[in-house]
């Protein structure tokens, strides 16, 4: 075979600086100036907070915690969980932690929940309107485009097949888990979750109607 040829040589992977190398050894945290605790906090089968990973990580950190280290809890949790058991576990190391506060740890916990719950609640509103407009023959996208022309007081959220990821589906349940102990319920938060859970079925129904129109009714089974 004649003609020009090009030779490709594999380059050895560059070595990451020591500070950027991943490690599963908690002992390396002792050399860090700041430690961000960001581990999954899913739900149990009974849809209650599962804090196993968070508790285990905190216990591992407590064993190597150093004076003057900054510890940031970035995982989703419910109000008062920073004080008990997270803060208690860290204080058992013999060091007194300084927290970056709002006014209380509970306020910081609720701040994170508010920011994440704000979105699924508003997504639920537009999802419910999408189901309504589908029945009465109005284009939801036209409505959203028109509403978005208002220069103030309106934030656009768009309908879809529900919400995904770790934080958005879980955070409302973390917030609504505590109020029953206080003899109250968060009806709006809980209802938004129910609305968003309906959207996959709504989307499947729309797909099936479209396929029925095209003569391929058996392609999708609900």
- Residue 160 and residue 31 in contact, taking contact as beta carbons nearer than 8 Å: no
CB 79 within 8 A of CB 109: yes
Burial 98-110 (b: 16+ CB within 10 A, else e): ebeeeeebeebbb
The active-site residue, picked from 167, 170, 175, 189, is 167
Please report which helix (H) or strand (E) contains residue 201, including its range: helix 187-213
Please confirm, yes or no, whether 167 is among the known catalytic residues.
yes
- Gap between the Cα atoms of 209 and 200, Å rounded: 14
Query: What element of type H or E holds 72?
Result: strand 70-73
Residues 73/53, Cβ–Cβ less than 8 Å: no
Residue carrying the six token digits 């958005």: 168
Dihedral pair phi/psi, residue 164, rounded to 5° = -130, -175
Helix (H) or strand (E) holding 200: helix 187-213
- Give me the active site residues, please: 167
């Amino acid at each position: 075979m004649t003609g020009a040829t090009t030779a490709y040589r594999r380059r050895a992977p560059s070595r990451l600086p020591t500070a950027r190398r991943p490690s599963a050894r908690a002992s390396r945290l002792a050399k860090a100036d700041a430690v961000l605790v960001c581990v999954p906090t899913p739900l149990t089968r009974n849809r209650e907070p599962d804090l196993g990973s968070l508790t285990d990580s905190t216990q591992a950190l407590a064993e190597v915690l150093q004076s003057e280290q900054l510890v940031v809890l970035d995982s989703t949790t419910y109000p008062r969980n920073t004080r008990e058991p997270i803060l208690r576990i860290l204080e058992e190391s013999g060091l007194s932690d300084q927290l970056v506060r709002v006014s209380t740890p509970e306020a910081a916990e609720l701040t994170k929940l508010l920011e994440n719950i704000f979105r699924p609640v508003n997504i639920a509103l537009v999802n419910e309107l999408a189901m309504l407009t589908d029945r009465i023959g109005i284009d939801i996208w036209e409505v959203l485009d028109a509403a978005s022309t208002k220069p103030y007081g309106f934030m656009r959220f768009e309908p879809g097949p529900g919400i995904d990821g770790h934080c958005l589906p879980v955070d409302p349940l973390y917030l609504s888990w505590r109020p029953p102990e206080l003899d109250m319920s968060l009806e709006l938060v809980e209802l938004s979750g129910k609305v968003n859970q309906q959207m996959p079925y709504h989307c499947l129904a729309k797909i099936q109607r479209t396929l029925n129109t095209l003569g391929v009714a058996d392609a999708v089974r609900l």
